[in-house]
Structure 1
Amino acid sequence: MPHLSVLIPVKDGMPYLKSTVASTLRAMPRDSELLVLDDGSTDGTGAFLAGLSDKRLKVFRNEQSAGVAAASTALLSHASGEHVARIDGDDICLPWRFAVQRRALDGVDMVFSQALMINAKNVPFKPRFEPGISAEAMPLHLMLTNVLMNPTMYASRAALESLGGYQATPAEDYDLWLRAATAGLRMRRIPRLPTIAYRRHQTQLSQTRAWSDENGDKILAESFSKLAADRIGFHGSASTVLYNRPAAGKPYPEDPDIAEFVRCMMEAASRLGENDRRGVEARLLASYRL
């Protein structure tokens, strides 16, 4: 049984998929497998994958696209490694990624990291790396925004399988993190060190499906509501909190649910250690322009 299964769901991944696969295979340990699901591509993705020969590589295909959530869950069902990692088909895996994250998984169920941002021509943007987030503080940070990058995930396969995979929502990754936190899974983000080069380009899926624009996303709102009730005792409207971000430079909209959410968050943050408390309060104050 391989120790690590790396998952790449991809649709129309050319030309970037070539560097994703090559860099991932170079970084992977010997006791690992790379699982790629071609989710109904109509470009040269299928032909490229068919031409590869590496005993660690397993390729699957959907004739019709099932979407990233279903494709990711299908790949998880094929994984046999003790650990599972994700990367998107347009990113680059940095050489030290899996060694660093394997060590960082000690004591937690899921590990995430920073990313070096690059453009379509592999030119990096000015680096901006944030501090780490502890497992104790992670549920509170997640109720303020999605602080975790899906293509940097490294996790216990048993932990992911306990959640049943991704749900059919445009914010399938954020929804999974919220459910993981509610289930008591421990997640941490390691500080500053990037493990992938994350490519920003006009055709990438995440550019067209920001979770904060999905006002009708009842699945995400339900997952948020369960975590907020469980961790901070908030029972107001999850949709009000999720989908009423103010315009830049303007105060947060006055609403009793928002005021109650902020009160519950501040009270929960006060029970954390000093460094964790400061991190949560800083994000809370910046988000709500208090």
Structure 2
Amino acid sequence: MKNPQVTILMPVHNGERYLTEAIDSILKQSFTDFEFLIIDDGSTDGSTTIVKSYEDPRIRLIANPENHGTVHVLNQGISEAKGTYIARMDADDISLPTRLEKQVHFMDNHPEIGISGTAMRLIKNGKLKNTRTLPETDEELKIQLLFSTCFFHPTVIMRSDLAKAHPYPENLIYTQDYNYWTSLADKTAFANIPETLLYFREHAGQLSSRKADLQVTNARRIREGYLRRLTEDISLEELEIHHRIAENQKDIDLRKAEKWLKRLVEINLVTGIFGSGTFQKEMARKWWLTCRKSTPSGRTVLEQYRSSSLRPYYQPEMIKYLKFMLRSIMAGTHHIPTGHSTKQE
């Protein structure tokens, strides 16, 4: 019997609340040549019972008697996978019906791409909210890694041979996806499909809610390590500004942020690691996002955004720019002067 084209890898740990919806969304896929590898990682609720209630032969359940953690289970799944591709899935999300069909088609037609993801839409309190997107091209995504993850982890599909040769690093837990993409950045090409093919559920039980402080700490370590591939010439102040930009903090000194982003452009011109046009555009996009977060500072932030030499290299959507302008104006004159944080640095 031939192996399936895709292994859908879904770890589960005490996920009974949303598990049925997640499983059903995979079994209803328009693409059908897959095995659905579900690894129950020592659940103490009814998760295993729910999985066993399905009679679909494509489901393959592995039940770990003890909880080993997400990274262990992901690598266990990679080792067990029989498919040409491995598609990720979480036990609380929903894959849209054509997700696998479109992702397999994309990978089949782009043999140079080792990993790709998609856009996703947020589910919060049972309601569909905003759509989230990330850059699409290989170079944009590897520039994105200077700041944060370049894929939405549950949307990812990857080539099995790549994953088997390079499993998830087992250090820096709770940031395993960011850690993984930085480790693979020099080994394969990346891409994102701009279409929304998954609904991502946000709730209090997620690790991102329960382990937020550790995630921030580990992400900073990963970010600094990747940034130092571009340059070792970073002061502690510059590194802190870089982290604040990456974390979308609201109390950033915009003058320092602009200076650092412009210096990154200059560094890349010297090193030539990334194409200068793409890099300049991505730093301009970070400048826009940083200013957009700072609208409580009032008109000052609008003036700083407009006057920056970075501005011409990235044009935000008009509706978003108009909202940014309106919020800045409406913030009034009673604002925290830009460049003077109310928090301890």
Q: Is the structural similarity TM-score above 0.5?
A: yes
1:196 Cα deviation (Å)? Answer: 0.6
Which residue, out of 170, 173, 180, partners 1:167? 170
Normalised to the residue count of structure 1, the TM-score between the two structures is 0.83
In structure 2, distance between residues paired with 1:88 and 1:59:
15
| 1:14 corresponds to | 16
Which secondary structure state, in structure 2, belongs to the residue aligned with residue 15 of structure 1? helix
Letter in 1 for 2:264: C
| 1:35 corresponds to | 37
**Alignment partner of 1:144 is 2:147:** yes
| 2:78 corresponds to | 76
Which secondary structure state, in structure 1, belongs to the residue aligned with residue 113 of structure 2? coil
| 1:263 corresponds to | 263
The aligned runs of 1:56-205 (5 Å cut-off) are: 56-105=58-107, 106=110, 107-121=112-126, 123-125=127-129, 127-130=130-133, 132-168=135-171, 169-181=173-185, 183-191=186-194, 193-205=195-207
Larger of the two Rg values belongs to structure: 2
- Structure having the higher helix fraction is 2
Taking structure 1 as reference, are residues 226 and 158 closer, same or farther at Cα in structure 2, changes over 3 Å only? farther
**Alignment partner of 1:233 is 2:235:** no
Give the superposed CA RMSD: 3.0
In structure 2, distance between residues paired with 1:224 and 1:247:
16
8 A Cα contact 2:38 2:61, kept in partner: yes
1:7 Cα deviation (Å)? Answer: 0.4
1:80 Cα deviation (Å)? Answer: 1.1
Between the two proteins, what is the percent identity of the paired residues? Answer: 20
In structure 2, distance between residues paired with 1:67 and 1:101:
27
In structure 1, distance between residues paired with 2:282 and 2:142:
10
Letter in 2 for 1:233: T
Which secondary structure state, in structure 1, belongs to the residue aligned with residue 20 of structure 2? helix
- State the structure with bigger RCO (CA 8 A, min sep 6), 1 or 2: 1
In structure 2, distance between residues paired with 1:196 and 1:69:
22
| 2:6 corresponds to | 4
1:209 Cα deviation (Å)? Answer: 2.8
In structure 2, distance between residues paired with 1:31 and 1:83:
11
1:141 Cα deviation (Å)? Answer: 0.7
| 2:250 corresponds to | 248
8 A Cα contact 2:261 2:287, kept in partner: no
Letter in 1 for 2:104: R
Which secondary structure state, in structure 2, belongs to the residue aligned with residue 136 of structure 1? helix
Cα offsets for 1:205-238 (capped at 9, x unmatched):
22223477542x3xx56654553343x2345479
| 1:284 corresponds to | 286
Which secondary structure state, in structure 2, belongs to the residue aligned with residue 102 of structure 1? helix
Normalised to the residue count of structure 2, the TM-score between the two structures is 0.71
In structure 2, distance between residues paired with 1:210 and 1:28:
36
8 A Cα contact 1:72 1:166, kept in partner: no
Which secondary structure state, in structure 2, belongs to the residue aligned with residue 250 of structure 1? coil
Structure 1 segments unaligned to the other structure (5+ residues): none
Letter in 1 for 2:153: N
Letter in 1 for 2:268: A
In structure 2, distance between residues paired with 1:222 and 1:161:
25
